């Protein structure tokens, strides 16, 4: 078990006055199997109205607006989360036959169909089918993620969070969002329900208790084989005590940490920092 304290600060600076701003923040971690939120706040400067709700995918959303002229907007999310070591599905794994049955198809339809961002090209689907040969769904899913990772070079800046999986695959380059999209599409092509996870990663397992380090916004996947199982393809390992989940959905757009629109004529500059401290 570990306890992580996360401070995620997003700052926007505008060249001219912004007269109105409407936003949604998905920056509150979720409580569930393997993760318990001890405290969480989202603070906005400047702010004139805000409202919290839980969206269709089960993610807590802070909707807020600023209806007075401003040239700066700062969103500071702070949370403390207790994380248990995630050892595998909560119940016994299912067979390929069970995955193809009506019960699974009906219950997990949202995580079996692809979006334009997660749809993979034929050669990725063929790779998934080849790797899965002779393996049960749980073992196959992990090996597929490793196979996709081995063929994609981690290169920051060559894609965006909205880049379709097939474009990242064609370039054979990308970051954690691309790997999560590709792995989700590859697993779904075999009938394994898979969801995209947005969250944070503590990047230094060797950091001491109380030591604050520069953390990362991160993305990984969870697949269902009788229970949900998280895997971080970027780092080639199961999601565990260093991963804090914010939200789950079909793809990045379902769980984008911050999105919105503003009324103004000037451009903007963005500054983002994530600080993570292991408390226990």
DSSP 201-233: E---TTPPTT-EEE-EEEEEEEEESSSEEEEET
- CA dist 237 and 177 (Å) reads 16
Asked whether the predicted pLDDT for residue 275 surpasses 80, the reply is yes
- CA dist 267 and 90 (Å) reads 48
Asked whether the predicted pLDDT for residue 29 surpasses 90, the reply is yes
158 occurs within a structural domain? yes
Domain co-membership, 216 together with 264: no
Asked whether the predicted pLDDT for residue 266 surpasses 80, the reply is no
Domain co-membership, 228 together with 127: yes
CATH code, domain with 224: 3.10.620.30
Which tokens belong to 83?
């994380």
90 occurs within a structural domain? no
Number of domains in the chain: 2
CA distances from 21 to 18, 82, 259, 272 (A): 7, 34, 11, 18
241 occurs within a structural domain? yes
Domain co-membership, 45 together with 129: no
Residue found under tokens 């248990």: 84
Domain co-membership, 249 together with 265: no
89 occurs within a structural domain? no
Domain co-membership, 235 together with 146: yes
Segment 226-253 shows an average pLDDT of 95
Which of 41-55, 109-123, 190-204 has the least mean pLDDT? Answer: 41-55
DSSP H or E segment with residue 79:
strand 70-83
Domain co-membership, 28 together with 134: no
141 occurs within a structural domain? yes
187 occurs within a structural domain? yes
Domain co-membership, 247 together with 270: no
Domain co-membership, 216 together with 125: yes
201 occurs within a structural domain? yes
Portion of the chain with pLDDT greater than 90, in percent: 85
91 occurs within a structural domain? no
Following CA atoms 241, 244, 247, 248 in sequence, which dihedral angle do they give, to the nearest 10 degrees? -20
Domain co-membership, 230 together with 175: yes
Domain co-membership, 209 together with 132: yes
CATH code, domain with 37: 2.60.40.2250
Q: Given pLDDT bands bounded at 50, 70 and 90, which one contains residue 91?
A: low
Q: What is the pLDDT of residue 268?
A: 84
Q: Given pLDDT bands bounded at 50, 70 and 90, which one contains residue 144?
A: very high
Domain co-membership, 232 together with 265: no
Domain co-membership, 102 together with 8: no
Containing structural domain, residue 61: 2-84+257-278
């Amino acid at each position: 078990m570990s306890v992580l304290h996360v401070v995620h600060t997003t700052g926007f600076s505008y060249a001219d006055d912004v007269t109105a701003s409407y936003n949604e923040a998905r920056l509150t971690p979720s409580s569930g199997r393997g993760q318990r939120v001890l405290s969480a706040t989202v603070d906005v400067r400047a702010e004139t109205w805000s409202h919290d709700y839980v969206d269709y995918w089960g993610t807590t959303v802070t909707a807020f607006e600023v209806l007075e002229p401003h040239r700066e907007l700062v969103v500071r999310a702070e949370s403390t989360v207790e994380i248990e070591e995630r050892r595998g599905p909560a119940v016994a794994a299912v067979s390929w036959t069970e995955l193809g049955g009506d019960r699974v198809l009906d219950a997990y339809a949202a995580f079996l169909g692809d979006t334009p961002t997660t749809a993979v090209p034929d050669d990725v689907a063929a790779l998934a089918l080849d790797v899965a040969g002779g393996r049960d769904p749980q073992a196959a899913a992990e090996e597929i993620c490793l196979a996709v990772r081995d063929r994609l070079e981690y290169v920051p800046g060559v894609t965006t969070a909205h880049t379709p999986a097939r474009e990242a695959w064609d370039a054979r380059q990308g970051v954690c969002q691309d790997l999560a999209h590709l792995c989700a599409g590859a697993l779904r092509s075999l009938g394994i329900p898979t969801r995209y996870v947005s969250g944070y990663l503590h990047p230094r397992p060797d950091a001491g208790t109380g030591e604050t380090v520069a953390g990362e916004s991160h993305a990984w996947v969870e697949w269902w084989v009788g229970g949900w199982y998280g895997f971080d393809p970027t780092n080639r390992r199961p999601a565990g005590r260093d991963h804090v989940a914010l939200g789950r959905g079909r793809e990045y757009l379902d769980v984008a940490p911050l999105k919105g629109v503003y009324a103004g004529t000037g451009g903007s500059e963005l500054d983002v920092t994530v600080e993570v401290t292991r408390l226990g």
